[in-house]
């Protein structure tokens, strides 16, 4: 198996260190890994610089940089909150027999039920493998028709888009519920490894080119999920229409709900604020990176068209329903993104069908429901084409704004 020395991952952080305290985190490139299983490690790269007493940490996820919330040192330990998600890296500085310093510790996801801990390790300025030549007949570049858990009841389809230059690879997977955002890694003539870490989500894709130029692979999502996948080249392959997956049951024309915000105020579509307005209902979750991509687009859309009658309501489904956790989560999300419209707690992700029984199901996150001025649901879109999809992302944004303008007219 190809060993990836480093991987581009998320986040930008700025902190002030006391002038009397010398940071133990050396400047340079820290090559990190998260041990998902005994044989599967997700690699990533942490860049550390220091200028005028200000320590800067960068966790780069492919082409994106996601703000790290906080970093501090205490004795021989460091504590990193890597993103807007409720996770943390705790590690200690350790010196080996040769005097080299490395970090060893754990990654914790507080938003998940149970003890969700993954071993973490990081080395400073380790060597980088030389570029590996890629035989043309085994090229991974291009568009692929992918099948996850093929031949099982849980089978699903996706489009894989992979790019390769020298020994560096990038790409993403488009699914019926969204994309896997920015993936990066390496490849040689027969093996491709792509991965991503945004502070909470740990995606690792391993792929082996077969003699017939098809792919067999393994996908890991953190330590809790593993499945097989296959792929074949198919430039004509398309996914099912995103506006056909979730729909209103017979007899329904709109939504009915009453959910609390972080201050326990109940908000309903029947409130005067939404009367004769075009309303977008955003099915979301604080744990969902694609939802955050959608939120970054909806905020300027809201500001642009709010005075023309556009309203947005975010319904968050969470993995825990402890009210203190929910309140903290909603307030944190609203503050980080400066969201100008209501964020409500709609219930547990596992019970979404109970919260909105007029829908056949919630097929994926995010889901966007378009309601016209008469209160009628006009369209339900599942998933998005996020920033990692390039031109498809730009088209999705253009189509979204065009449809909103049409409803406002």
Q: Which tens digit of pLDDT belongs to each residue from 42-71?
A: 998 888 878 777 788 888 777 777 767 788
CA dist 390 and 14 (Å) reads 29
Report the pLDDT value the prediction gives residue 169, as an integer from 0 to 100.
87
Give me the pLDDT at residue 246, please.
94
Mean pLDDT calculated for residue range 66-78: 84
pLDDT at residue number 112: 85
For the segment 26-55, the average pLDDT, to the nearest whole number, is 86
Q: In the beta sheet, which residues pair with residue 233?
A: 144
Whether 389 contacts 179, CB under 8 Å: yes
18 has a pLDDT exceeding 60: no
- What is the model's pLDDT at position 358? 96
Q: Which tops the pLDDT comparison, 347 or 21? A: 347
What is the 8-class DSSP label of residue 391? H
Domains, the chain: 12-124 (2.40.128), 136-233 (2.40.128.120), 258-408 (3.40.30.10)
Q: Give the tens place of pLDDT for each residue, 302-318.
A: 999 999 999 999 999 99
Q: What is the pLDDT of residue 273?
A: 96
For residue 228, give the nearest of 211, 215, 237 by alpha carbon: 215
pLDDT single digits (tens) 205-224: 999 999 999 999 999 999 99
Percent of the chain with pLDDT over 70: 91
Query: Region 129-157: what's the mean pLDDT?
Result: 76
What distances in angstroms separate CA 308 from CA 282, 318, 370, 377, one per listed residue?
19, 32, 16, 19
Dihedral of CA 280/285/286/287: which sign?
negative
Q: CA-to-CA distance for 367 and 374, rounded, in angstroms?
A: 21
What's the mean pLDDT in 72-91? 89
Instruction: Please compute the mean of the pLDDT values over residues 184-192 and round it to a whole number.
Output: 84
Alpha-carbon Rg for the chain, nearest whole angstrom, is 23
Question: What is the structure's pLDDT at 21?
Answer: 54
Contact between residue 120 and residue 89 where contact means Cβ atoms under 8 Å apart: yes
CA atoms within 13 A on the CB side of 289: 22
Task: Inform me whether the pLDDT recorded for 135 exceeds 90.
Answer: no
**Residue 126 banded pLDDT, cuts 50, 70, 90:** low
pLDDT tens by residue, 223-266: 999 999 999 999 999 998 889 999 999 999 999 999 999 999 99
């990193």: which residue's tokens? 80
Quick one: pLDDT band at residue 138, thresholds 50, 70, 90?
A: low
Q: pLDDT value at position 164?
A: 80
Confidence of residue 3 (pLDDT cuts 50, 70, 90): very low
Q: How far is CA 69 from CA 12, 66, 119, 150, 294, in A?
A: 9, 9, 21, 39, 20
Q: What is the pLDDT of residue 20?
A: 37
Strands 117-124 and 101-109, sheet pairing? antiparallel
pLDDT at residue 70 in the model: 81
Other residues' Cβ atoms within 10 Å of the Cβ of residue 283: 27
In contact, 305 and 297? CB cutoff 8 Å: no
Output the six-digit token pair for 133: 């030549």
Q: Which residue has the higher pLDDT, 84 or 404?
A: 404
Instruction: Tell me the C-alpha distance between 175 and 156, whole Å.
Output: 8
Give the model confidence (pLDDT) of 97-124 as tens digits.
Answer: 777 789 999 999 988 888 899 999 999 8
Model confidence at 28: pLDDT above 90: no
76: its two tokens: 């021989």
- At 9, the pLDDT band (50, 70, 90 cuts) reads very low
150: burial class by Cβ within 10 Å (0-12, 13-18, 19+)?
A: middle
Distances (CA, A) of 407 to 28, 64, 266, 314, 375: 52, 33, 26, 19, 11
C-beta of residue 191 within 8 angstroms of C-beta of residue 207: yes
What's the rounded Cα separation, in Å, for the pair 389 and 179?
A: 8
Cβ atoms < 10 Å from Cβ of 221 = 15
Pairing relation of β-strands 202-209 and 215-221? antiparallel
- Strand (E) or helix (H) holding 44: strand 41-51
pLDDT confidence of 285, banded at 50, 70, 90?
Answer: very high
Find the range with the poorest average confidence among 75-84, 94-103, 167-176, 280-289.
94-103
Return d(Cα 180, Cα 386) in angstroms, integer.
8
Tokens at 85, concatenated: 């998600």
């Amino acid at each position: 198996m190809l060993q990836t020395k480093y991987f581009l991952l998320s986040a930008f952080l700025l902190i002030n260190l006391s002038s009397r305290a010398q940071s133990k985190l050396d400047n340079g490139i820290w090559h990190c890994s998260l041990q998902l299983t005994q044989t599967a490690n997700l690699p990533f790269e942490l860049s550390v610089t220091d200028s005028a007493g200000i320590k800067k940490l960068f966790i780069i996820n492919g082409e994106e940089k996601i703000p790290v919330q906080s970093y501090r040192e205490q004795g021989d330990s460091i504590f990193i909150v890597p993103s807007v998600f409720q996770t943390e890296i705790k590690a200690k500085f350790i010196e080996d027999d040769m005097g080299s310093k490395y970090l060893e510790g754990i990654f914790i996801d507080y938003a998940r039920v149970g003890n969700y801990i993954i071993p973490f390790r990081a080395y400073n300025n380790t060597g980088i493998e030389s570029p590996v030549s890629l035989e043309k007949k085994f090229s991974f570049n291009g568009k692929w028709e992918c099948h996850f858990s093929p031949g099982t009841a849980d089978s699903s389809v996706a489009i894989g888009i992979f790019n390769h230059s020298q020994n560096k690879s990038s790409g993403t997977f488009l699914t019926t519920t969204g994309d896997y955002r920015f993936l990066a890694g390496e490849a040689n003539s027969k093996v491709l490894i792509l991965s991503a870490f945004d502070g909470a989500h740990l995606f690792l894709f391993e792929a082996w080119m077969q003699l017939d130029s098809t792919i067999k692979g393994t996908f890991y999502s953190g330590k809790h999920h593993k499945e097989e996948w296959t792929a074949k080249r198919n430039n004509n392959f398309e996914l099912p229409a995103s506006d056909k997956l979730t729909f209103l049951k017979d007899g329904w024309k709109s939504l009915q709900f009453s959910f609390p915000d972080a201050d326990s105020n109940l908000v309903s579509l029947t409130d005067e604020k939404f009367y004769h307005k075009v309303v977008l209902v955003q099915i979301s979750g604080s744990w969902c990176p694609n939802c955050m991509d959608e939120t970054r687009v909806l905020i300027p859309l809201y500001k642009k068209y709010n005075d023309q009658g556009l309203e947005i309501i975010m319904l968050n489904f969470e993995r825990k329903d402890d009210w203190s956790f929910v309140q903290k989560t909603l307030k944190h999300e609203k503050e980080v993104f400066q969201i100008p419209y209501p964020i409500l707690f709609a219930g547990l992700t596992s019970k979404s069908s109970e919260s909105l029984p007029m829908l056949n199901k919630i097929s994926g996150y995010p889901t966007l429901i378009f309601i016209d001025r008469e209160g009628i649901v006009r369209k339900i879109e599942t998933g998005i084409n996020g920033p990692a999809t390039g031109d498809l992302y730009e088209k999705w944004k253009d189509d979204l704004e065009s449809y909103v303008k049409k409803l406002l007219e």
